[in-house]
Structure 1
Amino acid sequence: MEYILLELNFNTVKFMLGVVYAPPNSDYLDALELLLATHLPEYEHAVLMGDFNTCLLQDSARSRKFLTLTSSLNLHIPKLDPTHHVNDSHSLIDHILTSSSERIATHGQFTASGFSHHDLIFASYKLRIPKLKPKIIFQRNFASMDHERLADDAASTDWIQIERIDNIDDKVKCFNSLVTDLLDRHAPLHPVRMKRPPAPWLTPAIRKQMAYRDALRRKHKKDPSEANWNNFKFVRNRCNQMIRNAKRRHIHSSVENCSSKNLWQFLHSLGLGRCRKDQPLSVDKDGLNRHFSSPPHILDPLTKALTISNIQALPIAASSPLHFTPVTETDIKKIILSIPSKAVGSDGIGRDMLLPILPFILSSITSIINFSLSSGTFPTLWKLAFMVPVPKISSPVEFKHYRPISILPFLSKVLERVVLRQFSNFLSSNNLLNPLQSGFRPSHSTCSALIKITDDLRKAVDDSQLTLLTLLDFSNAFNCVDHDILLSILRSLNMSGSVAEWFSSYLSGRRQRIRSDDIESDWCDVTAGVPQGGVLSPILFSVFINTLVSVLKFTSYHLYADDLQLYVSCGPGDVLEAIDRMTADLDAVKNWTANYGLLVNPSKTQVMFVGSRYHLARLRNGPLPPVIFNGVTLPYCDSVKNLGLHIQNNLSWELHVSEISRKIYASMHGLKRLQNFLPYSTKVTLVNSLLLPIIDYADVCYPDLTEELLDKLDRLLNLCIRYIFGLRKYDHVTDFRNKLKWLNIRHRRNAHIVSLVYGIVYNPCAPSYLTDRFSFFDFTDRPQRSSRNLLFRTPEHNAAGYSDSFTVSAVRLWNQLPLHIRQSQSIETFKSKDGLDSLARIQTRSLEGNLYNKVNEIQEDISLKKYDYRATQLHLASVRAQFFNNARKSNSKSPPQDAKKKQKPKSDDDHNIRYKLPDARVNINRLDLKPKSKPKIKVNFWSNKQSVPRLHKEKEKKSNRRHTVGSTTGLQASDLKPKHSVVKVRKRVSFLPTPIFSDNHVPMVTVPDDLTINLNEEEANELREDLNSVGVTNGAETSPSPRGPRSNPQLSPRGTKRRHSPDDCRHHNNETELEFFSKYVVQKLRKMETNQRIYSENIINTALMLGQLGKLNGKSRIAE
């Protein structure tokens, strides 16, 4: 790849222009990504053009990778016609890449016939920033207000007259009049001309230097001599340095003197953060107001009456009716102080106006709210709303390109919060909301909903099934709620008469108007929908849509507010049935929306099959019948965007990580502009608020990221660290990450997983669809020790794919935490330094430093069925033996004699042996191990042709609890026994599917009764040869042993020639055989096929030893 990059400076704007050429069939995309990822964050504007030799007219792997790369770097590609022409072949291989598509004024191409097969491409880029016109607003100056005089006047005001009024509207009018008159005397409204102020860091000295610079520039233009140019350049550079230093000092001092409340306001003034840019309204204001206030669909009166009658026929949901209870002044004060909004509604009274006089008006506000609750009426003045239109796109031209933001009176939000608290308690205590509704509920979130969906999809893949997923999009759902139907649903919940009247008054008689800058529309009546911006609106909509799930009979579902996900799993041969079931439920949804007044937008409804690559490939071989909704065929997608998470049909996450990368680079462009002027603490705040939420969002839903994608996310995290500390491209970031006390991307995700599990364990409001996924170990019918230790059972699964699901990953990570961390009394303690250290140690220990990490990997590979449970038991013993023998080899000196004489204290349980787990930071070579703690496994061989002695004396049977694997020599003829080959395992090690840690990280190992395995002659020979051959292949040091004459080659039943010595035994040191034993187990267990699993309890004990030693092939003769 060849390229030229130019940096163009336009005053304070830095522009990068690049020209690129990529040879045909060259693998340049990785180099291009590295190049752009290095330079793009340094420039706010960038344009790259050239011959990339990647045709975007073809759907190829190369073109898809190119589009993914440009998207992840937040680069846009303007559309062009084919740019390369050879005979009748036309391809689009010349492209324009830009950081901002909105700033491309014109672009196109010219033919270059006669000297090139390529067209000449061009683009015009706009850099001029449009000047905002000054505007006049009216505001009150509370800073210069005399608070003592205001308090005196407020104390002398007759607030008692409000309580004597018996009409809610008159009460509110009187209250508004008294408050407005009081503030007009002390902080009257005055006009303020809003325009762009001069830079506050430009001091008189700097302005004088700037004037001198401009004079030298004019002098050089008149006389362009070298001396004049050098003088101008010297003064210009000094002036620029003075401006930079002054700007840095101003920003630093302003940030240090800002409170946390005013910090973001100051950062927004600098152009940082997600501040809304004011744009003039490009459509008719009255027409836009009617578009916002009128529902897109009006129900037929007959249909509405029939729907209401069906609702009234439903049984009463709650046993006791809901009655509003009066609130106290303390409750009202807490609510007022908890509302952060400073917006001023139609009544002209905002939060900042009430706080200075709150002690004098608190009783009046409480009286108004309690009167509203008891009388069942909502104040009319609090039903008026200002609607602020916010563009959805950069250049809106239609009504649908705007979304409304409602500004309601401040005190109406206080009243709604009072009702919300009582109404929510009523719904939760009677379980009236569907448990699969995650919208606007405590401890529920989009993340919890996505965990439910993704884990269900993974479980279906684990069961070799396909899942048909449909995401329904409701058009303007909140504005389509019919008031009469909603009131009927509320009455069916068993509400008292006054409560029903209050909700009826709350919904009816509402009006709104458009306000944008100095433009206001006429007032318009609102005839349908829940109030935009209302505190009660989300929960009212949840109650309204709660009846939808009753018609879903054939599919699984999940709801987040108005986002409905339907999915059904099936075997590869039952796809047609799954489509029929989905179509049936979609028809039920269509009928429900027709009866309740909602509309589904088929053009935005997405359908996708999710499964393994193998099953998806088979699915594409034949034509699939379409999914039809309301007469519209829904096309099948390869990926969908669900609640902000991009899900691909094979559950890979390249698209989502690419979207994360795009957002990070897009945000970094704005932050880089003031990087050198902001203090360290402010840059940390910006990264924590603007960048890390993008990386962290729903990261617990995809623990199965590939190493390539994890490295990509790690680079994005490193990009944030480089921004904070101003590091260069090749500077190491590990020390700086530690300074920030951040975890790397892998441990960061693990921290989020276990933090969520902590909430599931201890939070009573946790979603039931998550808590049902976790269960404690149940050893016996006696009280569970695991309940006290908070250890979860690993869910059963078949393939390795589900082992990377949230549920299995959460169990694995949670069980590895120390007990005192799992039993933390608060989430803050759980996330403290000790907790983070424990999280960081979960997957950083090696096989030698952490025996249990390897066991978990094997459990995942061979799936935790009953068979695999036993396999893990035996393998854990071998890994444990290898660990301690390797550690012993590293110790050249033997322990002192007095240490040998010390007796190891006995365990409380005679059947338990304790092995100390070394600390993660301790070098394994420094461990001072006691010889008695070395575990061994004893294996004895008998054969009618080979003589193998016992490996221990008879008197050692009772005292020796250690296990060895090995063989000896020096056999006598009297030791020959004409019987079947027998392998006797004197003690068998059993262990739980996942490691259990006690307070001091000591695992518990149980040694039960003996296990005897009977082998035929061939199996014994092959077993011995496998064990003996490792001594030669590994190059281990072995002591010489006498050998007899070699026997002639024997032909096994399979036809393999084997050579055997008279005793067919070789003497090996214990370390080599244990090392072989461990590696051999891992190798053989991973090669197990599903049809080779054995589930009988007795046969398991026999078959597993054969499997670990390489002889479980489905054909061995096994005798109990």
Structure 2
Amino acid sequence: MEVGLRLGIATVVGRGRYGGGGRCHRRRGSRYGYARTPSNLRPIPRDEGRVSKDYSPPSLVLCNARSIGKKTATLRDFFTSQEVDLACVTETWVRERETVTLREMAPPGFSVLHQSRTVGRGGGVALLIREDCSFRALPSPSIPGIECVGLVWGSEVSLAVWLVYRPPSAPAATLSGLLEAVAGWALEFPNLLVLGDFNIHADATPSSQALDLVSSMATLGLSQFVSGPTHQAGHTLDLIFGAGIDVIMSPSMKVPWSDHYALKARIDFPPPPCLGGEPIWARPRRLMDPDRFRQALRDLAPPGDSLTELVEGWNIQLLAAIDEIAPRRPLRHRRNRAPWFTEELRKMKRDLRRLERVWRGARDGASRTSYRVFMKTYEMAVKAAKKSYFLASIASASSRPAQLFSIIRSLTSLEGQPNLNSNSTHSCEAFASSFAEKVLLLRHDLPANLDTMKELEAPRLSSGPVLDHFDRISPADVDRLLQAGKPTTCPLDPCPSWLIRACPDEVRGPLGDIINLSLGTGIFPGELKEAVVRPLLKKTSLDPLDLSNYRPVSNLPFLGKVIERAVAEQLGRFLDETSALDPFQSGFRAGHGTETALVALTDDLRRQLDRGGSGLLILLDLSAAFDMVDHELLDRRLADVGIQGTVLQWLRSFLSGRGQRVALGGELSSRHSLVCGVPQGAILSPMLFNIFMRPLAQLVRSFGLGCHQYADDTQLYLLMDGHPDSAPDTLTRCLEAVAGWLRGSRLKLNPSKTEVLWLGRSDMGLRGQLPSLAGVQLVPASSVKSLGVIFDTSLSMEAQITAITKAAFFHLRQAKQLAPYLSRPDLATVIHATVTSRLDYCNSLYVGLPLRLTQKLQRVQNAAARLLTGSSLRDHIHPVLYQLHWLPVEYRIRFKVLVLTFKALYGLGPSYLRDRLSWYVPQRNLRSANKNTLKIPGLREVRLASTRARAFSAAAPIWWNALSQETRALQDLTSFRRACKTELFHQAFCQGAA
């Protein structure tokens, strides 16, 4: 009977180390010695999330720090020990840009929202919230005399939290402004929490201000939950108001690092979703040894003769090899920890807590002093440990920029990417549907009949060169294709791509067979047509709960990219040799870029203004242009440029039958088919898009307008003599034709985001209305932003330089905070990446600017040089720049113009820059005939040559001819850059000293 009972009871057994069922074991020392019968065992149920029947509601703590500057470690330990989900800190005394200090205060795994005091010292409020909670920041309102910061917490049921600090010196009228703001918040958010340091006496015998505040809050539906003193003087200054929720207060805590008490409360509110549940399966990187992987691939020979069998065999055998050396293992989510926290710091923390307990028991000045002295020692030890750890980490990552900047972001970034509830398969499906429906809705609004726009198509080439087959790929080509590009890995890949690149001898033969069979048959493998998409929030300030605020980031299989690269090389070479692409298309073409496009544009506009004329600049905006490309139209335009036969068949196969899935937290959505568009993340997509957009520029120029394109950014400009009262009819007809061509090409024009800039004298603007575009009236703006550069009506570049200096000084302040953790070479890397790159971006547009503008940029460079070298303000800047071998800003502009000139002259740049330059040819056979000089435009062509030379076509020849004959004679780009910088450096420093 006893044995029968024992066999009938279901015993709970674990799932094993890796999530599988455990083996049947004989229990050691068992009285009966029977083995467990698997049929009598039931597995432990898996956790479906963090919420369980014994969960506790989310908690928060409110404290007044009275400066966090020397208390960051103490505050972080306090928040960690209290196990809070939300920490509210008033009086941070931190300025707006001191992100490193705020990051030091936050426990691992927390984001920080901070609002500093705009005028004067002190003040500042900060919210610290767990990163794995669903939240979004709220814009801080402007309330005179009040500092506040807010967020919305939760997803399905949300709670708005506003942290408020009112200084003691604030007049009574500030409460009226606060109540006005609270009234608006109460209407917008049913569940509302307003808390902070109000600096009014809401004691047992409250002041009139406190009575008025509490009663006014009550009329808005907010109850006050704090009772008892919150300040060591016995007053109640810190208050918590709530509407739609219940707040459960804990006893107030006296803390030795502030004269305010710390308040802790629990909120009767659904707990925020967080990471947990099922493990994520991954392969240990430490086991991925290239030698062992190479040995596992010794017999790699994909079976079969068809392309499908070859690709399937490739994937199967690579997967078997990686499984042999690094099998997948489950990794559960772990709370972020501080890797720099040593055992010595742990002991000091225990001693600090012991001194705190002594102070709480004694409540005397001596114990408080002992605690505060040891707290300062502990803070210094924490800073030293962090510095030592990050110095070692940054030194080990100095040769890997991506890892280096990842470490730097961990020190400076206050907010991480919000959690997207990665355990929910529904989230995957919601994102997948959102991305697919966006394109379908845009196509639904466009006409289905494409025949109406046939007259606008580029004429088919009746004769000329064609590309109808691919050349066979040699083993040397396979090695080159394998090593080209970044070794990105897609979740659909059988193994990491860097491992494949580490084994060229083993994969060369099978990979070459797959590529050549694909190119020879004109078929792109169907197994490689699926993309894995990850949602990325466009800006951290956007609402993470709104799916429209995310952009899809696609990842494609590595094998497919290698095949694409083989096609792209041959297709790109054919397009360059036949000049099939529009010469003014600068997107994704060698020698072209945003700067070359803007140099040509501003050169035309400045010369027109120099002649006393005016101009109109129109920046077209297209919605999801790459995703809207119609395959039938693209097929016709490929044929127009000479793509035929097997090549055209392969491109059709490449575009057809594609699909995508959304990946979130180890889950994949169902497959969504793509009926249009060029695949995001594909190597061929930019090239195909340029071919698709080719007729648009030809159409615009047929009306006499200029046109520059960078991928889907299209810039139209009309040059006009004098200053007409209204736009000419040519512009109206051109815009109508452009809108019609876009409709016929099934591209969605966004006229409300299309920008217009009138260029000319400020007192002689257009008096009449501009024409409409797709039914929307165009209105000139005072400034527009094109390809990252701000233009105004006079092309003064003042707004652009102001924006650059503001951003550069922000990054300089961050670099200064990082300086204790960085060696000088690493600090130089950070400065070059965040500051110098901004000074140099499109700086060829700053030709001939007034000294008052270039001096703003020079101040940025001077500050960066002093930070890097540790020089003081009393030190003269020229020796500092000379020591760093940095060209001053004025000479950096000249250097960029000269490099662009060299590239244009020797076929390394776009033809539209080369056409603006011409070699000097004397009328007689003079000695200057062979000196490689350029012709300088005469005064009849451009007056700028005799003033500030603000046009590229006028300044470039002057500066080119000023170079030494030896430098001008060089024809290698690297040698020219080196010689040019040496010559300019000598002019900037040595000539002045002489």
Show the counterpart of 2:33.
none
Q: Tell me which amino acid in the other structure corresponds to 1:555.
A: L
- Match of 1:618, SS state, is coil
The CA deviation at 1:179 is 1.0
Show the counterpart of 2:184.
none
Counterpart check, 1:652 vs 2:796: yes
- Match of 1:387, SS state, is strand
The CA deviation at 1:820 is 2.0
Counterpart check, 1:388 vs 2:534: yes
Show the counterpart of 1:511.
659
Identify if the C-alpha distance between structure 1 residues 797 and 286 changes in structure 2 by more than 3 Å, giving closer, same or farther: closer
Show the counterpart of 1:571.
721
Check conservation: 1:438, 1:561, Cα contact below 8 A: yes
Task: State how 1:288-299 maps to structure 2 within 5 Å.
Answer: 288-291=434-437, 294=440, 296-298=442-444
Show the counterpart of 2:734.
585
CA RMSD of aligned residues (A): 4.0
Q: Tell me which amino acid in the other structure corresponds to 2:320.
A: D
Check conservation: 1:482, 1:528, Cα contact below 8 A: yes
Aligned counterpart for 2:610 among listed residues 462, 466, 475: 462
Aligned counterpart for 2:932 among listed residues 784, 789, 798: 789
Task: State how 1:525-540 maps to structure 2 within 5 Å.
Answer: 525-540=673-688
Identify if the C-alpha distance between structure 1 residues 291 and 250 changes in structure 2 by more than 3 Å, giving closer, same or farther: same
Counterpart check, 1:682 vs 2:826: yes
Show the counterpart of 1:365.
511
Counterpart check, 1:496 vs 2:640: no
Aligned counterpart for 1:767 among listed residues 900, 910, 913: 910
Show the counterpart of 1:140.
283
Aligned counterpart for 1:341 among listed residues 464, 467, 487: 487
Check conservation: 2:811, 2:835, Cα contact below 8 A: yes
Show the counterpart of 1:327.
473
Identify if the C-alpha distance between structure 1 residues 147 and 8 changes in structure 2 by more than 3 Å, giving closer, same or farther: closer
Task: For 1:411 and 1:402, locate their aligned partners in 2 and report how far apart those are by CA, in whole Å.
Answer: 28
Aligned counterpart for 2:361 among listed residues 201, 219, 222: 222
Identify if the C-alpha distance between structure 1 residues 573 and 743 changes in structure 2 by more than 3 Å, giving closer, same or farther: closer
- Match of 1:546, SS state, is helix
Check conservation: 1:467, 1:570, Cα contact below 8 A: yes
- Match of 1:674, SS state, is helix
Task: State how 1:777-816 maps to structure 2 within 5 Å.
Answer: 777-782=920-925, 785-794=928-937, 796-799=941-944, 803-816=949-962
The CA deviation at 1:361 is 1.8
Counterpart check, 1:232 vs 2:371: yes
Identify if the C-alpha distance between structure 1 residues 260 and 158 changes in structure 2 by more than 3 Å, giving closer, same or farther: closer
Q: Which runs of 5+ in 2 are unaligned?
A: 1-64, 77-88, 104-113, 122-137, 154-159, 182-193, 198-263, 265-271, 422-426
Task: For 1:407 and 1:580, locate their aligned partners in 2 and report how far apart those are by CA, in whole Å.
Answer: 47
Task: For 2:716 and 2:984, locate their aligned partners in 1 and report how far apart those are by CA, in whole Å.
Answer: 36
Identify if the C-alpha distance between structure 1 residues 280 and 146 changes in structure 2 by more than 3 Å, giving closer, same or farther: closer
Task: For 1:144 and 1:594, locate their aligned partners in 2 and report how far apart those are by CA, in whole Å.
Answer: 55
Counterpart check, 1:280 vs 2:402: no
Counterpart check, 1:151 vs 2:294: yes
Of 462-471 and 665-674, more deviation after overlay is shown by 665-674
Aligned counterpart for 1:714 among listed residues 858, 866, 885: 858
Task: For 2:364 and 2:974, locate their aligned partners in 1 and report how far apart those are by CA, in whole Å.
Answer: 68
- Match of 2:622, SS state, is coil
Check conservation: 2:900, 2:909, Cα contact below 8 A: no
The CA deviation at 1:293 is 5.7
Task: For 2:891 and 2:195, locate their aligned partners in 1 and report how far apart those are by CA, in whole Å.
Answer: 43
- Match of 2:117, SS state, is strand
Q: TM-score, normalised by structure 1?
A: 0.64
Aligned counterpart for 1:599 among listed residues 748, 759, 762: 748
Show the counterpart of 1:417.
565
Asked which structure has the greater RCO (Cα within 8 Å, sep 6+), the reply is 2
Q: Tell me which amino acid in the other structure corresponds to 2:928.
A: R
Task: For 1:641 and 1:745, locate their aligned partners in 2 and report how far apart those are by CA, in whole Å.
Answer: 23
Task: For 2:358 and 2:332, locate their aligned partners in 1 and report how far apart those are by CA, in whole Å.
Answer: 38
Counterpart check, 1:749 vs 2:893: yes
Task: For 2:914 and 2:102, locate their aligned partners in 1 and report how far apart those are by CA, in whole Å.
Answer: 47
Check conservation: 2:456, 2:741, Cα contact below 8 A: no
- Match of 2:679, SS state, is coil
Q: Tell me which amino acid in the other structure corresponds to 2:919.
A: F
The CA deviation at 1:491 is 1.7
- Match of 1:804, SS state, is coil
User: Which digits, 9 at most, give the CA deviation of each residue in 1:533-589, with x for residues without a partner?
Assistant: 10000010000000112322131111111111111121335342x442222111010
Show the counterpart of 2:314.
175
Task: State how 1:912-927 maps to structure 2 within 5 Å.
Answer: 920=991, 923=994
Show the counterpart of 2:981.
836
Identify if the C-alpha distance between structure 1 residues 321 and 197 changes in structure 2 by more than 3 Å, giving closer, same or farther: closer
Show the counterpart of 2:690.
542
Show the counterpart of 1:626.
770
Q: TM-score, normalised by structure 2?
A: 0.71
The CA deviation at 1:758 is 2.4
Aligned counterpart for 1:521 among listed residues 651, 656, 669: 669
Aligned counterpart for 1:776 among listed residues 899, 914, 919: 919
Show the counterpart of 1:407.
555
Q: Tell me which amino acid in the other structure corresponds to 1:840.
A: F
Task: For 1:227 and 1:607, locate their aligned partners in 2 and report how far apart those are by CA, in whole Å.
Answer: 71
Show the counterpart of 1:1110.
none
Task: For 1:771 and 1:126, locate their aligned partners in 2 and report how far apart those are by CA, in whole Å.
Answer: 64
- Match of 2:716, SS state, is strand
Check conservation: 1:369, 1:415, Cα contact below 8 A: yes
User: Which digits, 9 at most, give the CA deviation of each residue in 1:600-632, with x for residues without a partner?
Assistant: 101110111111xxx321226xx3223211111
Check conservation: 2:756, 2:778, Cα contact below 8 A: yes
Aligned residues: 782
Q: Tell me which amino acid in the other structure corresponds to 2:716.
A: L
Q: Tell me which amino acid in the other structure corresponds to 1:705.
A: L
**Percent of aligned positions that are identical:** 25
Task: For 1:101 and 1:461, locate their aligned partners in 2 and report how far apart those are by CA, in whole Å.
Answer: 51
Q: Which runs of 5+ in 1 are unaligned?
A: 20-34, 53-75, 84-93, 845-918, 924-1120
Identify if the C-alpha distance between structure 1 residues 410 and 39 changes in structure 2 by more than 3 Å, giving closer, same or farther: closer
Task: For 1:440 and 1:767, locate their aligned partners in 2 and report how far apart those are by CA, in whole Å.
Answer: 12
Q: Tell me which amino acid in the other structure corresponds to 1:367.
A: D
Show the counterpart of 1:1031.
none
Of 440-449 and 213-222, more deviation after overlay is shown by 213-222
Task: For 1:398 and 1:285, locate their aligned partners in 2 and report how far apart those are by CA, in whole Å.
Answer: 10
Check conservation: 1:311, 1:492, Cα contact below 8 A: no
Task: For 2:721 and 2:818, locate their aligned partners in 1 and report how far apart those are by CA, in whole Å.
Answer: 56
Check conservation: 1:700, 1:749, Cα contact below 8 A: yes
Task: For 1:400 and 1:77, locate their aligned partners in 2 and report how far apart those are by CA, in whole Å.
Answer: 19
The CA deviation at 1:448 is 0.3
The CA deviation at 1:180 is 0.6
Show the counterpart of 2:235.
none
Aligned counterpart for 2:781 among listed residues 624, 630, 637: 637
- Match of 2:707, SS state, is strand
Larger Rg: 1
The CA deviation at 1:458 is 0.6
Task: For 1:734 and 1:38, locate their aligned partners in 2 and report how far apart those are by CA, in whole Å.
Answer: 28
- Match of 2:539, SS state, is coil
Identify if the C-alpha distance between structure 1 residues 802 and 166 changes in structure 2 by more than 3 Å, giving closer, same or farther: farther
Identify if the C-alpha distance between structure 1 residues 739 and 480 changes in structure 2 by more than 3 Å, giving closer, same or farther: same
Q: Tell me which amino acid in the other structure corresponds to 2:960.
A: W
Check conservation: 1:289, 1:524, Cα contact below 8 A: no
Show the counterpart of 1:973.
none
Aligned counterpart for 1:662 among listed residues 790, 806, 813: 806
- Match of 2:619, SS state, is strand
- Match of 1:776, SS state, is coil
The CA deviation at 1:701 is 0.9
Check conservation: 1:449, 1:558, Cα contact below 8 A: yes
- Match of 2:623, SS state, is coil
